[in-house]
A and B are shown apart, each in its own frame.
Chain A
């Protein structure tokens, strides 16, 4: 990093100028930027709702906003964070930028479809925003029927339409990734030489393509019941209220893996690069992604242990939920083993990665409490669940996303972010996160139900702790946003490979040219070949 480097004269960012060159681009790297800008916007929209929720919960009486407003706030917090931030974030930003570069391809297999995916995403998000500002939705992001289909007096159909449309963006991105990974790998890049980031995106894409249509069907059924009063879910119309939950969770549980698998892919890249070691047990980590994707489809019923589902069905869903925890455990152990006798550099991306490992472990282990039948009965729909999934999705997924963003920022912009500020932000986020969400485990076991606008007084102290942590967390998220923007102009020039990392994306200039590689690379070694000795071993 000390040697003076220069930005390349021609690269994808200055290849063309003007707003049209961005809005009509088919370059996967520019589309990644379109996603980055819009996803960041929706992250802060969702975060704004979170701030209001935590402010409201500082006092037990529910005195900041009306009950109805509060219900709309947590609904829109969930909708925006899940559908417009967590699900697309890593695949659409980092995946879009890196999948072609990591496999030595000039672009995704269907560049125009890729651009169309972004427009579809924007159309869906716009509808959801319109639904939010023209009265909001109060069903919770889960849209449970018959409340959503009959009883709610809010913009359910419009918001649902937004989600429905956004789903197509997810499906198209998945198809694009699968075809690209199958057909466009550079010569010599066999399946078992692929970076684990690619394996994770491959597994994620399978879920996107197979799961999302089920969500689409479910949403259409809710809309039909709401508009035409045709009974699918409301028993007064001859429907089954639990049917919705089966359909909804058939997508939405695998959707958790859409969020976390790409994050796991990022962590594999960061841990190897910053300990300069080949990943411990490459094939176990790769296959654990596929195992999670497959078994992840068979566990949806663990959301319904108290829904009157049959006891025997619950037993099956419970055992499968325990089974799906095993591949996740394998990954955690392998990352830890990779550190052993490594050459570890605690730069910002690595701090995020280590934070991820810790928070994901806590989140994963507490998930077992929800998979255990008799125990889930007590903690189901309480703050224990809220804490658990925030540990996985915010503590895990967002840490991975930010770690990845710091890691590949020099590749995307050609410039470095300020390291000192980076480490500070990682630290603030880690501390703020734990203060915000750890008390919620205690609240949950005490019995505070989720989605409560007002609550009994004995829960106040823990809620105040949680709100305090949330404000620290919010500051932690603002800092990177500011220095990333600053670094685009003033950051030190990075050079092609500031981390001395392995992987094809580091073998081309930063920022890369539009065609990614001047000459198609030929791959002769396994992924993460950080030492010469190893080349001899393999």
Chain B
């Protein structure tokens, strides 16, 4: 289109067309009503302009019929827009099963991205075209927001919580990745690129491009675990699990001091006091850094808290390891 002066963003994901259609519908209605009101005001202002100083027009008090018309029509239009908005939202909030999972950690002021096979990237995300990609995101400090305009997706990235979004790119190319939630001094510098590749190129990229020396943050006094090239997140997590001594209580079979973790991910578990909770990423993260918050029924509250002792990447690695131990049945309706 207009080089250097674009008026409409590129559409590069499966959801983009749906969002654009909703946008055109809303803008169409907006233009219609703005023109209607604008031209009525203009026509009335000209047609009924005051001709003599003392003229008084015939009073028109009101009309219940008209009031009902212009209450009900906007209401119905609003409800149509509402329903469409909800259906698009549902589509964007439900990642399809079998999506490729990528972890995102936001930090003032960079995006740290981790592929399941352990590949790490900063401010660049390589993905294959035509494959659903699920992002699981958290922040090391303040609230950020992961925004790719060409995909029409955006999701806040919060400290202390995992949020998810997903996309399926429909064309190859480089697309802006922005931080959309104001996050401090270099907020506008927290930008990067999503690079969508042909699946074969992506495989090639994964295999051949040497992984950069992954900068690992340091939390607490423990020396950081060195990461071997080509090692998957789950494998690093397993080594970390052993280094921290978690395996002395969390045995593979029941009988240890702590609950066994095999197949725990996604399962509904009963807490001390009878409440139940689904062991999702957020629950696991909380149970690592603050184990006393929700204690599994039947186990003594003896686990030490790891608050401040693990980086967000390390937490992600541990969770990825726990996930690799098998998945329980999802019993909640996750929208």
Residue positions of A touching B, CB distance < 8 A: 62, 67-68, 71, 138, 140, 144, 146-147, 150-152, 234-236, 238, 240-242, 275-278, 280-284, 305-308, 311-312, 314-315, 318-319, 322-323, 325-326, 329-330, 332-334, 336-337, 339-346, 354, 357-358, 361-362, 365-366, 368-369, 371-378, 380-382, 442, 445-447, 449-458, 461-462, 530-534, 537-538
Contacts and interface: CB of A to CB of B under 8 A. Distances in A.
Contact of A319 (B29, B60, B82): B82
In the A-B complex, the 4 residue pairs with the closest CB atoms: A374-B88, A235-B160, A447-B149, A372-B85
A138 B48 contact: no
Interface stretch (B16-24, B114-122, B244-252): B16-24
Interface in B158-206: 158-161, 163, 176, 178-189, 191
**Binding site of B, secondary structure by majority: helix, strand, loop or mixed?**
mixed
A311 B188 contact: no
A374 B87 contact: yes
Contacts of A278: 59-61
Contacts, number: 298
Given A140-B182, A311-B335, A365-B30, 8 more contacts: A71-B184, A146-B142, A343-B51, A354-B41, A361-B34, A362-B30, A373-B88, A534-B61
A274 B260 CA distance: 78
Contacts of A305: 89
B26 to A, nearest CB: 5
Contact of A532 (B41, B56, B78, B143): B56
B4 A374 contact: no
A380 B156 CA distance: 11
A71 B187 contact: yes
Interface residues of B, number: 91
A362 to B, nearest CB: 5
B59 A358 contact: no
B4 A458 contact: yes
A510 to B, nearest CB: 19
B90 A311 contact: yes
Nearest to A346: B45
B89 A373 contact: yes
Contact of A235 (B51, B85, B161): B161
Contacts of B335: 311-312
B320 to A, nearest CB: 20
B4 A457 contact: yes
B108 A322 contact: no
B154 A378 contact: yes
A277 B57 contact: yes
A318 B93 CA distance: 15
A530 B59 contact: yes
A325 B78 contact: yes
Contacts of B58: 341, 531, 533
A276 B59 CA distance: 9
Given A306-B154, A458-B4, A381 B84 contact: no
Given A146-B142, A365-B30, A277 B59 contact: yes
A449 B41 contact: no
Contact of A365 (B9, B34, B160): B34
A329 B184 contact: no
B71 A315 contact: no
Contact of A308 (B5, B8, B163, B179): B163
Nearest to A152: B184
B213 interface: no
Interface stretch (B62-70, B97-105, B269-277, B295-303): B62-70
Nearest to A329: B74
A323 B81 CA distance: 11
B304 to A, nearest CB: 17
